Structure 1
Amino acid sequence: MTSRDPAARLLRLLSLLQSRTDWSGPELAGRLGVSTRTIRSDIGRLRGLGYPVAATSGTAGGYRLGAGARLPPLLLDDEEAVAVAIGLRTATAQAVGGIEETAPRALAKLEQVLPARLRPRVAALAASTVALPGSGPAVDGDVLTTLAAACRDRRRVRFDYRDHEGNATVRDAEPHRLVSTGRRWYLVAWDVDRLGWRTFRIDRLRPRTPLGPSFSGRSLPAGDALDFVTKGVASTLGPCRTVATVRAPAAAVSERVPPVARVEPLDDQRCLLHMGAATPLTLAVYLAALGLPFTVDGPPALLEALRQVSRHCADAVRTDTLPQPAAPTARRNARCP
């Protein structure tokens, strides 16, 4: 029985403290079937093991598990342990500097102590999953944690920033969310000096510490942080932009376009694709490469580029313009991989 087994009771007490911010002594005693005096004794044992349990007195008093000076052992249930293992495997493929060695090392420690019943689940995921390495610029892990803390605690952050043209500025912002598109990391924040919402590439900023004063939370004008980032970044893809009507489900189109392109569902079989590129010809090639039926109304330069791509493709497969069969070696070299 848990109440008579000190070790099992201690683990159960720790699990309860981790599941909720505040607990009263009588609540814990009722859950564990012991007296409040035993709870006080067990709290002392947890503190001896390195768990920083704060206590407050009075009728509204209770216990709270806080942050300590050293890392004590963690208590994870089955689902949490599997989730951590999956997260560590995925982290090694992300564009975050400094975790290339630490993530696999932490995963090795976790797998060493995983119960036998959980190892097949983690092994199956590892064997059947291939992560696409991040192709964007790596970001500093310390910068991410600093910004994440500022978002959580609603603290202003002042940072040096370099825009896409290389101009250096100092920005003062109220951080809202961190967004990863798979290729790059972005900070969505309220720019205090410019009085508006902005998106900042995290690989281009360097926070100044300590963090600034606290602020009241704001709401994004529409949608969530991911929508805000994709809309903002898509507008910087290039001067030639269009909105194409694609006759395919939005989910299917999203799998074929880069993260910065915005896909807007119309119904089960159609969607709008907001996309841009540096030149009309490049944008025409992007659209043609979808391999899906689509229509666009403009701009005129894009329509002409699409006609040009269409003519070139038609000429490439006309039978009367095909070259004579080449030698076997030449044919082999001309094949697509």
Structure 2
Amino acid sequence: MARRDKTERLLNLVFAMMSTRRAISRSDIRENVAGYEDARSDEAFERMFERDKDELRSMGLPIDTVSDSLGEVLGYRISPSEYEFVDLELSPEDIIVLGVAAQVWDQAVLSAPAQTALRKIEAKYGKNVVTPPAELSGLVRLQAQDVSLPVLLTAAREKRVVKFEYHNRSGVQSMRKIEPWALICRQGNWYCIGFDLDRMDQRTFKLPRIHGTVRTTAEKHSAPRPDHPTMEIPQSEGLVTATITVSAGHGAMLRKNSMRLDQTALGDRIEVCGVLADLVEWTLLALAHVVSIESPALETEVNAAIDALVAGHQAAFTEGELGV
């Protein structure tokens, strides 16, 4: 509640300083701007007003101090011409980028503000102009397992060290302490590039493999950050795009990680992109309902996994028959 009251007071102060041609004096601010009535003394008001003024200036608001010929402060104002945004003129490419950006937050915490901004753009430029091309749809997005993204983005911007529990592709669990440099989305999957303080080297972390809460520490970055951090994924972690057709209502993991889903007479045709090992796992989970796999690499690995499973069962059966 206190934070909301402060935000309302700051907004009221901005409106008051923008709505007058002449400067608004301190006494007028105290008497007429909602939020300052809580000041119980002149000293309390002065401290509150000075803090608010400094905070608004730190946000970039151009607050002018108006004085008379003798240097006596008459009051304060914000010139609308210096603060108001000019009417934006967006190119078709700009609009497409904004449309894709809105899709990123479609299922996330900023969904409502993103959609509100998109509706305003549509009102000026038209809905068809804002809709991203089909080939871009789903390439950049947030999923339920990407909840750590906002925390990592903030830590990277503020150059803070973070800690989190990480499971590598072999399932080995370890606590990692890193300096996050950048967040990159590749084919619908988010990765964090940073400096691993335990291994003293650059590492790339796949966000869905982060378990639990990402904790931000008070420590600041100390390792030199490259101008353009590059994504380093082992060859075995190469990304594969595949299309798998499954019976309607099945293939939960495939659906959860889908880039595109089309309903057909044979079933739901699901396009996914990810690390090959993950795609194999998701496909095997839905194997009884898989109609077709449109990816030679994925089909080969799935068949190999099935063969290995069958061979394992046969070996166990043979040992049982022999009484081993």
| Range of TM-score over shorter length | 0.3 to 0.5
- TM-score (norm: length of structure 1): 0.43
Which structure: greater strand fraction? 2
